[in-house]
Chains A and B, each alone.
Chain A
Amino acid sequence: MIAAPSTIPAGGAITTQLLEISIGPQHPSTHGVFRMDVVLDGEVVRALKPVVGYLHRNHEQLAEKMSWLGSMPYTDRLDYFNSMSNNWAYALAVEKLAGIKVPERAEYIRVIMAELSRLQNHASAIGFLLQDCGAWGTPLLYAFKEREKILDFFETVSGSRMMCNYFRFGGVRVDLNDEMLAMARKIVAEFPKFLDEFEKLMTTNEVVLARCQRVGILPKELAIAGSISGPVARASGVEYDIRKVDKYGVYGQLEFGVPVGAVGDVYDRYYIRVLEMRESVKILQQVLRDIPAGPVQAVEVKLRGFKIPAGDGYGRVEGAKGELGFYLVSEGGPKPYRYHIRPPSFINLTVLEDMCVGHKVADAIIILGSIDIVLGEVDR
């Protein structure tokens, strides 16, 4: 718990007191029901403890009572911004445990969905970051204009804008026809223009620079020790991207770069996301060009009465927020014995205190925004 307020004799005459404040859980900028117990000395943060659990919905225990496939819609609701990546992480973990091979067209479709998810997630993330900086919604709504196109595509494909429930073990649920592919190509063609406009407005804006540079620096060693993953870690110089390391899906055959920063402040985390969006556009162009014909679901997988041989295993993907992994334990039955999610947002919060101490309250909000958390994932 936070220590009781103590008096600090400041240079002799005036004694001051530390102010304990609780930012959240009802707050416009904490990205959900999230609370930070902050101890302030004037405007400077002296200690900060994140308090989570306001959105705990007991997902892991529910999964133990449902069939393997029955948990798939629940995974949409974890990181509700990119449900496609969550679906993929779970499907990948199950396929790894059961040894299911996914047909090639399905792999390409999975990459399309995951990269589109990444695009709209990063666009919203930087929009929200600038909203926290105080720009009254303008960059956010510009980013949402692009996001709407991607969400319309998801709705056409899977029937739902955000909670798609589109992946299955061994493939995806429905195939993409030419009209949908044309829609995807249009989105990819228009995205770089949005990025250029956004960069022109924001990347060299003096206020953004003054607010974000040299604020909330995360050193590389702390990032690795604290198990930080995703754009947050790469901005601090950690050269690790699961798409390049594990080469799951067809990422091994695609040409793309992984941007890595050097300083690790809020500005780097913002700019790495912009660069990652550009790389995602490259990936999408390759995939949309090369997508083969074929089935979209492995024929040998019977989804009713689906069982996995006994044992355990861990499967992970590079979600937009970091490493999203599933640890599954099976007893050979139709239901999981243990179903555990490794949430990137939850673990990225470990270093929030380290980054915020010594900065001001306004900076603490921006640092939280730059980590890009989603409470559905933090609390499950």
Chain B
Amino acid sequence: MIPTSEQLCAAVPGAVIEIVPSTPAAAQPAMLVDREHLVAVARYLKNEPSCQLDFCSCVTGVDYLAKGFIEIVYHLYSVALKHGPVVLKVRAPRELNQCHVPSLTTVWRGCEFQEREAFDLYGVKFDGHPDLRRILMWNEFTDHPMRKDYVPPADYEWEPTPHDEVLKRTKAAGGIMPPSAAVEVKK
């Protein structure tokens, strides 16, 4: 039985839950939970015998640039009772030093890699994650590529024999000039 938001507010006192609709045809409304009570809500959903949502299927990060927050979406299913999905959402501000949410890896182990991916690509820190480091990009990479305001570096098209357009752009942006360009630019 999929729980209602009133049930959750009663079970986890102090939780602020808001319903966010999906597309009309999909009929998968999400419950937006505040950061402080996310773990408690998640534990309740997992352990309550009437819902038993023991399978966390998908963890996604979405960057709402215009609205100023990054949203993490959890899709939960139940293997025992074969119902779902129950969608949980939590929001964090976009500034890197404030962008953190609690990690649900302690509740569902399957969130581990997907939360690492959200950290890698969006810069969201998950408090309480056992091993938070980059997963898809290489370790020395800076910046978070999936953000809507991500600008690729000026010299990312560096090639040993670059043509004029790229060279000019690189020089103007102060990027690293390739050694072979020294000859061409002099001309």
Contacts and interface: CB of A to CB of B under 8 A. Distances in A.
A305 to B, nearest CB: 18
A349 B113 contact: yes
Interface in A50-94: 52-53, 56, 58, 60-61
B169 to A, nearest CB: 20
A144 B80 CA distance: 37
Contact of A346 (B21, B57, B60, B113): B113
Interface in A72-128: 96-99
Interface residues of B, number: 36
Nearest to B59: A342
Determine the main DSSP class of B at the interface with A.
loop
A329 B60 CA distance: 11
Interface in B90-113: 108-113
Given A56-B136, A323-B57, A325-B57, A347 B110 contact: yes
A97 B113 contact: no
Contacts of A98: 23, 25
Given A325-B58, A347-B113, A245 B75 contact: no
A99 B26 CA distance: 7
B15 interface: no
Nearest to B63: A338
Contacts of B63: 338
Most A CB atoms within 10 A — which of B24, B108, B134? B24
Interface residues of A, number: 44
Contacts of B11: none
B26 A96 contact: yes
A314 B25 contact: no
B55 A224 contact: yes
Contacts of B21: 311
B123 to A, nearest CB: 15
Contacts of B112: 350
B163 interface: no
A226 interface: yes
Interface in A17-75: 52-53, 56, 58, 60-61
A229 B57 CA distance: 9
Contacts of A346: 113-114
B128 to A, nearest CB: 16
A194 B75 CA distance: 40
B28 interface: yes
10 contacts: A53-B136, A97-B22, A98-B25, A99-B23, A224-B79, A309-B23, A311-B24, A313-B26, A350-B113, A351-B109
